[in-house]
Structure 1
Amino acid sequence: MKLDPVTLKLFVRVVEDGTIASAAAREHIAAAAVSRRLSELEDAFGTQLLVRTNKGISPTAAGMNLAVLARGVLDDLNNIEVQMKGFSAGRRGHVRILVNISAASTFMPPLVRSFIEQHPDVHVSLLERDSLAITESVAQNVAEIGIFTRLPHSADIEVQPFRTDVLKVLVPLDHPLASRDEVTFGDTLDHEHVVLRPGTHLRFQMLTAAGQAGKSLRAPVEVSSYDALCRMVQLGAGVGILPSGNADIYRLPGTRTLTLAEPWATRELAICVRRADALSPVARLFFSHLLAHR
């Protein structure tokens, strides 16, 4: 026996309407064809499903049970269709986004929240990576979208401008530099630093700038996050350089932020995708959301 959705739907219609003619009209099928399908259904199950009288049609106990089961099956089929259409329209699905350490805790959380408020059936994976690794990963289709500090790269990707990121110097209140509002990077090199782990773009910038100044970067403490960096500065382990957004989020009592008077203190964050026209529907929605909130 092969059950098909059309026959089940016709059976439910007949039970609901009480006549074959009404069900046939609603489903745009000949009444004789409906009657034949119902008879074949009864033959297949080997039991009477409907009672036919001059007042109309009513279900038997078996027929009523089948109607309940059939409605459940038809609802499930309809739900499948709705969900699959949701994927094609970008209303459902999963988008994977790689972001650098700065954007992960500042720009991105409110943007992800506003996106999922508009698209509650979309799952967003926000993963932190170093900027250079982000460009390579997006080029290799490991993730569809990346947010990185704009820097020279060889990845075959499309890039759009996103936000501006300004670096600040965080110092303890009792530090020799704390009385100043602005310092150069050279000024900070006379003191110990708390720095991010190796591999980050900021760490590379600082080492490059120290070399150009003919000085060394003294960094007895390395950390893996900006909140840890702020805490170590608060405890007097050294000065720290970090984006202003992170400094505002993790600002701790007993510390002060200073302006970093260097051209490289202003950094550009960018959005990258492998190919904008090849994004999945849900990734295209998130990409548009980012562009609209630059």
Structure 2
Amino acid sequence: MTPDPKSLRLFVSVLKHGTIAAAAEHEHTAAAAVSRRISDLEEQLGVALIVRSNKGVSPTPAGRALLNMSHRVLHDLDSIQAQMHDYAVGMKGYIRIFANISAMHQFMPRELSAFLADNPLVQIDLEERVSTAIAEAVADNNADVGVLVVDTPLEGVEYLPYKEDDLVVIVPASHPLAGKERVRFADTLDYDYVGLPPGSQMNLHLMRTAREQGRTWRYRFQVSSYDSLCLMVESGLGVGMLPRRIALAYAKALDIELLGLDEPWSHRQLHVCIRSYDALSPAARLLVERMTGTGRDAG
């Protein structure tokens, strides 16, 4: 049998303090219990470990060897306990996050930078996905946390309010709609769009909304980034729709104009998506609480 850590700690303490009585006092236990532990340890290992005398105790050759090994073993155990404690309280951990393009461009860089500054031992794996795939990934445990715009809520996951944004239409400076402060969505349907990736929540929403109006949402190209979208709009290859703060950043460098979108759905709520609060690791729980300003205790 392998000696248990408690017996090794008492053995080290006895030799450190020189007497069983002094070790017992330091360890806040009875001297008889300490003596019994040492005797059991000697019996278990089949060798004498200490020599008792009226002056105290001293190690046998086997005892000296065990003392050296005990220091290493107990140090490793303390290190394990400390590291596991770091994981338990969220100081260490691994978090898988899927976020949509809007969250990736607007919020996640600053959000994660601030979080990692306070929790530098946490490892984060961040991937960009379309909103329609994010909730499924969370439900299937392929991601711990999702950040998305909810279209149709998925059963088996929780949605927590995160950030808000506003959609605008962008057009080339030479476009017939240029110069207008605000437009209705219907006003844009006479023109081809530059769309976002296939399956994106934005594309699906625009298709559905146009269909409800008896119209067709037409796109000439689909791109995977706002950078490509804005460059193609500037080149006259279509109009686009994206969050206002992102459009403002590109408008400073490109010859495009922003048109306010006069639709109730142009103001959007982004959500954090999780399987359940209780299923989160301590590190993921810290991040979610930070992002949403909520927690199980705050409810």
Instruction: Tell me the TM-score normalised to structure 1 length.
Output: 0.79
Q: CA 1:147 to 1:56, structure 2 compared with 1: closer, same or farther past 3 Å?
A: same
Which residue in the other structure is 1:80 paired with?
80
CA-to-aligned-CA distance 1:77-135 (integer Å, 9 cap, x gap) = 12222333444444433333332221122122322232333333333333333323333
Q: CA 1:182 to 1:53, structure 2 compared with 1: closer, same or farther past 3 Å?
A: same
Which residue in the other structure is 2:135 paired with?
135
CA distance in 2 between counterparts of 1:212 and 1:37 reads 80
Percent identical among aligned pairs is 44
CA distance in 2 between counterparts of 1:152 and 1:2 reads 57
Checking the alignment, whether the CA contact within 8 Å between 1:164 and 1:269 is kept in structure 2 is yes
CA-to-aligned-CA distance 1:46-87 (integer Å, 9 cap, x gap) = 6x8667777655667875564343222112212222333444
Which piece of structure 1 moves more, 198-207 or 247-256? Answer: 247-256
Which residue in the other structure is 2:184 paired with?
184
CA distance in 1 between counterparts of 2:98 and 2:156 reads 16
User: 1:70-219 to 2 correspondence within 5 Å?
Assistant: 70-219=70-219
Which residue in the other structure is 2:4 paired with?
4
Q: CA 1:263 to 1:43, structure 2 compared with 1: closer, same or farther past 3 Å?
A: closer
Following superposition, the deviation at residue 196 of structure 1 comes to 0.7
Matched letter for residue 95 of structure 1: I
Checking the alignment, whether the CA contact within 8 Å between 1:101 and 1:225 is kept in structure 2 is yes
Residue 242 (structure 2) pairs with residue 228 (structure 1): no
Which piece of structure 1 moves more, 54-63 or 124-133? Answer: 54-63
Following superposition, the deviation at residue 27 of structure 1 comes to 1.8
Which residue in the other structure is 1:26 paired with?
26
Following superposition, the deviation at residue 167 of structure 1 comes to 0.8
Following superposition, the deviation at residue 207 of structure 1 comes to 2.1
CA distance in 1 between counterparts of 2:108 and 2:67 reads 50
CA RMSD between the two structures: 3.4
CA distance in 2 between counterparts of 1:63 and 1:34 reads 16
Give the unaligned 5+ runs of structure 1: none
Q: CA 1:58 to 1:182, structure 2 compared with 1: closer, same or farther past 3 Å?
A: same
CA distance in 2 between counterparts of 1:68 and 1:259 reads 74
Q: CA 1:141 to 1:43, structure 2 compared with 1: closer, same or farther past 3 Å?
A: closer
CA distance in 2 between counterparts of 1:108 and 1:35 reads 59
CA distance in 2 between counterparts of 1:93 and 1:107 reads 22
Checking the alignment, whether the CA contact within 8 Å between 1:147 and 1:271 is kept in structure 2 is yes
| SS of structure 1 residue aligned to 2:3 | coil
Following superposition, the deviation at residue 36 of structure 1 comes to 6.1
Which piece of structure 1 moves more, 99-108 or 79-88? Answer: 79-88
CA distance in 2 between counterparts of 1:127 and 1:197 reads 15
Checking the alignment, whether the CA contact within 8 Å between 1:42 and 1:49 is kept in structure 2 is no
Following superposition, the deviation at residue 288 of structure 1 comes to 1.9
Residue 292 (structure 2) pairs with residue 260 (structure 1): no
CA distance in 1 between counterparts of 2:2 and 2:291 reads 49
Q: CA 1:168 to 1:4, structure 2 compared with 1: closer, same or farther past 3 Å?
A: same
User: 1:55-66 to 2 correspondence within 5 Å?
Assistant: 66=66
CA distance in 2 between counterparts of 1:49 and 1:125 reads 51
Following superposition, the deviation at residue 4 of structure 1 comes to 2.5
Following superposition, the deviation at residue 203 of structure 1 comes to 0.7
CA-to-aligned-CA distance 1:243-288 (integer Å, 9 cap, x gap) = 1233245553333322122232222222333333554444333332
CA distance in 1 between counterparts of 2:240 and 2:262 reads 14
Give the unaligned 5+ runs of structure 2: 295-299
Matched letter for residue 289 of structure 2: S
Which piece of structure 1 moves more, 193-202 or 110-119? Answer: 110-119
CA-to-aligned-CA distance 1:1-57 (integer Å, 9 cap, x gap) = 6332223212322343333332222123444554565575499486x8667777655
